[in-house]
C-alpha cells in the first residue's frame, strides 16, 4: 500500500516517476531511503528565504538561484527546508549549477532531506499540473475507500449487526484497535487486536485509560453526535489508537462517517431500551396500584422475561432526588441492568421517569437471602447511577429502599410500601439501603405532612429551640439530635460532637430550659424524636411518594 492510499497525497518516488520529472533525468543525491514521504503540494521558487513561505510536505522545485554562493549559505538553506518539513528538494541543473555543490549534498544527507538534481530542463508548470492531478486523484481515491467502509457498515447494520460489527469493520480497515467511549470517557465497546494480537481491552487500559489527560501521540478521537445539552451534544466518542501504524487521514474520514452511523444506532438502541424499561416500569406500577391481580401477574411477568421460580419476591425501589434528561433514563436503565447482572438473582427492572423512580422485583430462593441480596442490589444500583453519570454533581444521593420478601400476593403492597418509604427516607442519614419495615414511623409522618396538627406539634415540641438557633450561637439543635440518636448516652454524644463532658451538660441543660422539659423523661424523649423526624416533612417541599400520577399533593413550606 503506497502513501497515496492512506495520506491523500503521493510519494516523492511516485512524483519522480511521472512524465514531467522523469523527462528531466532525475538523480537522487540524498535521502534515497525517504522517497516514501508524502507530497502534499508542489511549489517553485528562487528566493533564499523560501522556507518561510512553506508549510511542510511540499515538493520544492528550483533552478538554484536562491541557494546562495557560499557553502555556509547553502547549508543554512537546506537546514531550514528540512526543519520546515518539506517532502523533497528538486534542483534543475543549468546556468546556475552544472552539478550541485558538495556542501548542499552533505547537508541534505545529514538532515535526512531527499535531494534530487535534474539533468535536463523541464517545464515546472507541467510538473506542478501532473503532481497536483495525482494528489487530487489520491484524495478522491481516499473518499472512495472511506465510502466503501461506510457502505460495509450500513450493510452490516441492515443485516442485523450492531455497534461491535461497525467497530470491527473500522478496526480491520485501519489496522489498529478501535474503541467507543461514553462522553465521560468510560469504555463501551472495543474491536481489533493490538500488538501481538493483544486483547483490545488491555490495549485501551494501557494506552488510553492511563493517558486520558495527555492522549498517546497520534490518537484520533471522533465525536459521535446526539448526546444533548448535558454532554455538549456528544453522545459518545470513537477512539483510534496508532498501534498498528499511524492513523492516516483516510482512517479519520472513515471514522467520521462511521460516527454518523453509530449516532443513529445508539439513538435507536436507547429509545428501544428506554421504551422497554418504561414498559416494565408500567407493569410494576400497575401491580403496585392493584390494576394487575396476583393471579395474572406471573404470566405477564414471564412475557417481560422475568421467571423468578417458586421462592419469595423482593421488592426494591430506588428514588433519584433530582430528575434526569429524557435520554438519561435510557442510559441509567442500561447501566443498572448491566450492574444487576452480577447479583445472581432473576431481576425485573423498570423505570418511572415521572416519579424519578427505578422499581424492581427480584426472585429469591429463600427469605434468608434477603440481607445479602439487598446489599448486592443496592451496590449495583448505585454503581449503575455512577456509570450513567447521574445524578448531577452536587445532587443528593439516590435512596434505595428494600421491602419484605413475600410471594406474588403481597408483591403489590410491598412495591407500594417501598416506593412511599423511598420518598419518606429522603433527608435521612445516608445508608447503602433502607429497610422499608423500619421506616414506618417516617412514612406515617410523611403521610401527615399536610395536616396542620403535625406542624403545630413540631412547633410545640421544638419551636423554642429553633427560635434560639435562628439568632444565637452555638446552635443547640445538632446537640439534641446527636443526644437522641445515641439514646441519651452522654459519653458517646460528647465524643461524636467533640465536646468535653461539662460543655455537653451545659448545652443539655440549656435545651431543657428552653423547651421546659426533662430530657431524661422517656415520654419527652419520644416526643422530641418524633418532632425531629416530622420537621423534615413540614419545613421543606418533597415530591409525591406513591405510584400516583403527577399532581398528587406535595408538602408545603411551614417555616
Domain limits at 113?
3-134
Is the model's pLDDT at 212 over the cut of 70? no
Q: What's the confidence (pLDDT) of residue 204? A: 62
**For the packed helices 522-538 and 452-471, what is the interaxial angle rounded to 10 degrees?**
90
Domain-located, residue 550: no
Distance CA 238, CA 153 (A): 15
What are the tens digits of pLDDT across the range 43-62? 998 998 898 889 888 999 99
Same domain, 128 and 183: no
For residue 63, how many other CB atoms are within 10 A of its CB?
A: 19
Domain-located, residue 244: yes
Same domain, 334 and 389: yes
Q: What's the confidence (pLDDT) of residue 104? A: 93
Domain-located, residue 155: no
Domain-located, residue 96: yes
- Across residues 291-314, what is the average pLDDT? 88
Same domain, 106 and 244: no
Q: What is the CATH number of the domain that holds 491?
A: 1.10.10.2840
Same domain, 337 and 298: yes
Tally the domains of the chain. Answer: 4
Backbone angles phi, psi at 362, to 5 degrees: -125, 145
Same domain, 432 and 298: yes
What are the tens digits of pLDDT across the range 402-428? 999 999 999 999 999 999 999 888 878
Rounded to two decimals, what is the model's pTM?
0.50
- Across residues 437-452, what is the average pLDDT? 88
Secondary element (H or E) of residue 251: helix 249-288
- Check residues 430 and 194 and name the one with the higher pLDDT: 430
Distance CA 359, CA 435 (A): 15
Percent of the chain exceeding pLDDT 70 equals 84
Distance CA 488, CA 485 (A): 8
Pairing assessment for the beta strands 234-240 and 178-182 based on DSSP bridges: antiparallel
Domain-located, residue 278: no
What are the tens digits of pLDDT across the range 257-282? 888 888 887 776 666 666 678 888 88
Same domain, 353 and 434: yes
Same domain, 413 and 470: no
What are the tens digits of pLDDT across the range 494-507? 999 999 989 999 99
For residue 296, how many other CB atoms are within 10 A of its CB?
A: 12
Distance CA 53, CA 73 (A): 18
- Across residues 100-105, what is the average pLDDT? 93
- Across residues 509-520, what is the average pLDDT? 90
Is the model's pLDDT at 166 over the cut of 90? no
Q: What is the CATH number of the domain that holds 372?
A: 3.30.70.270
Same domain, 190 and 330: no
Domain-located, residue 139: no
Distance from CA of residue 27 to its chain's centroid?
A: 55
Q: Which of 214, 232, 267 is the last residue of a domain?
A: 267
Q: Where are the beta strands (DSSP E) in 419-531?
A: 434-435
Is the model's pLDDT at 429 over the cut of 70? yes
* 8 A C-beta contact, residue 372 and residue 354: no
SS3 232: coil
Q: How high does pLDDT run on average in the chain? A: 82
Q: What is the CATH number of the domain that holds 217?
A: 3.30.450.40
Is the model's pLDDT at 449 over the cut of 60? yes
Domain-located, residue 60: yes
Distance CA 491, CA 296 (A): 56
Domain-located, residue 555: no
Q: Which of 382, 406, 438 is the last residue of a domain?
A: 438
Torsion, Cα of 87, 92, 98, 99 (10° steps): 10
- Across residues 243-265, what is the average pLDDT? 80
Same domain, 259 and 367: no
Q: What's the confidence (pLDDT) of residue 214? A: 61
* Secondary structure letter of residue 538 according to DSSP: H
Peptide bond preceding 391: is omega within 30 degrees of 0, i.e. cis?
A: yes
* Secondary structure letter of residue 206 according to DSSP: I
Same domain, 391 and 499: no
SS3 237: strand
- Banded pLDDT at 216 (limits 50, 70, 90): low
Same domain, 424 and 482: no
- Check residues 331 and 519 and name the one with the higher pLDDT: 519
Q: What is the CATH number of the domain that holds 108?
A: 3.40.1390.20
Same domain, 236 and 175: yes
Amino acid at each position: 500500500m503506497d502513501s497515496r492510499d492512506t495520506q491523500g497525497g503521493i510519494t516523492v518516488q511516485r512524483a519522480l516517476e511521472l512524465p514531467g520529472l522523469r523527462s528531466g533525468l532525475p538523480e537522487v543525491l540524498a535521502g534515497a531511503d525517504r522517497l516514501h514521504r508524502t507530497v502534499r503540494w508542489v511549489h517553485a521558487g528562487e528566493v533564499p528565504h523560501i522556507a518561510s513561505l512553506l508549510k511542510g510536505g511540499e515538493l520544492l522545485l528550483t533552478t538554484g538561484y536562491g541557494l546562495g554562493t557560499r557553502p555556509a549559505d547553502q547549508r543554512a538553506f537546506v537546514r531550514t527546508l528540512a526543519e520546515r518539513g518539506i517532502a523533497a528538494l528538486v534542483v534543475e541543473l543549468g546556468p546556475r549549477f552544472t552539478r550541485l555543490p558538495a556542501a548542499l549534498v552533505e547537508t541534505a544527507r545529514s538532515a535526512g532531506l531527499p535531494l534530487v538534481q535534474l539533468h535536463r530542463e523541464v517545464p515546472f508548470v507541467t510538473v506542478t499540473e501532473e503532481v497536483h492531478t495525482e494528489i487530487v486523484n489520491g484524495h478522491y481515491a481516499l473518499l472512495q475507500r472511506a465510502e466503501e467502509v461506510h457502505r460495509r457498515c450500513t450493510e452490516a447494520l441492515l443485516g442485523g449487526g450492531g455497534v461491535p460489527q461497525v467497530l470491527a469493520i473500522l478496526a480491520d480497515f485501519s489496522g489498529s484497535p478501535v474503541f467507543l467511549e461514553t462522553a465521560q470517557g468510560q469504555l463501551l465497546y472495543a474491536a481489533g487486536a493490538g500488538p501481538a494480537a493483544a486483547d483490545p481491552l488491555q490495549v485501551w487500559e494501557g494506552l488510553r485509560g492511563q493517558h486520558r489527560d495527555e492522549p498517546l501521540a497520534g490518537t484520533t478521537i471522533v465525536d459521535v453526535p446526539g448526546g444533548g445539552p448535558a454532554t455538549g451534544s456528544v453522545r459518545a466518542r470513537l477512539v483510534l489508537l496508532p498501534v498498528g501504524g499511524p492513523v492516516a487521514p483516510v482512517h479519520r474520514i472513515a471514522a467520521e462517517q462511521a460516527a454518523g452511523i453509530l449516532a443513529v444506532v445508539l439513538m435507536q438502541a436507547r429509545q428501544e431500551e428506554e421504551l422497554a424499561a418504561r414498559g416494565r416500569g408500567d407493569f410494576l406500577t400497575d401491580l403496585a396500584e392493584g390494576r394487575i391481580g396476583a393471579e395474572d401477574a406471573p404470566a405477564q411477568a414471564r412475557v417481560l422475561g422475568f421467571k423468578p421460580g417458586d421462592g419469595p419476591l423482593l421488592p426494591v425501589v430506588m428514588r433519584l432526588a433530582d430528575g434526569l434528561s429524557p435520554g438519561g433514563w435510557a442510559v441509567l436503565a442500561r447501566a443498572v441492568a448491566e450492574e444487576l447482572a452480577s447479583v445472581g438473582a432473576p431481576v425485573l427492572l423498570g423505570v418511572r421517569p415521572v416519579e424519578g423512580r427505578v422499581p424492581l422485583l427480584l426472585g429469591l430462593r429463600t427469605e434468608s437471602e434477603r440481607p445479602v441480596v439487598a446489599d448486592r442490589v443496592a451496590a449495583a444500583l448505585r454503581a449503575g447511577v455512577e456509570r450513567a453519570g447521574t445524578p448531577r454533581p452536587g445532587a443528593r444521593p439516590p435512596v434505595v429502599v428494600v421491602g419484605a420478601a413475600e410471594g406474588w400476593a403481597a408483591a403489590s403492597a410491598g412495591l407500594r410500601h417501598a416506593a412511599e418509604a423511598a420518598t419518606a427516607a429522603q433527608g435521612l442519614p445516608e445508608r447503602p439501603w433502607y429497610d422499608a419495615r423500619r421506616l414506618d414511623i417516617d412514612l406515617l409522618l410523611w403521610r401527615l405532612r399536610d395536616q396542620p396538627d403535625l406542624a403545630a406539634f413540631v412547633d410545640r415540641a421544638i419551636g423554642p429551640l429553633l427560635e434560639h438557633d435562628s439568632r444565637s450561637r452555638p446552635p443547640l439543635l445538632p446537640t439534641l439530635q446527636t443526644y437522641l440518636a445515641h439514646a441519651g448516652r452522654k459519653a458517646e454524644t460528647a465524643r461524636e460532637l467533640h465536646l468535653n463532658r461539662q460543655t455537653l451538660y451545659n448545652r443539655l441543660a440549656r435545651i431543657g430550659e428552653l423547651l421546659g422539659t426533662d430530657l431524661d423523661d422517656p415520654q419527652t424523649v419520644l416526643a422530641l424524636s418524633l418532632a425531629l423526624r416530622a420537621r423534615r416533612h413540614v419545613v421543606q417541599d418533597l415530591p409525591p411518594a406513591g405510584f400516583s400520577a403527577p399532581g398528587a399533593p406535595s408538602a408545603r413550606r411551614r417555616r
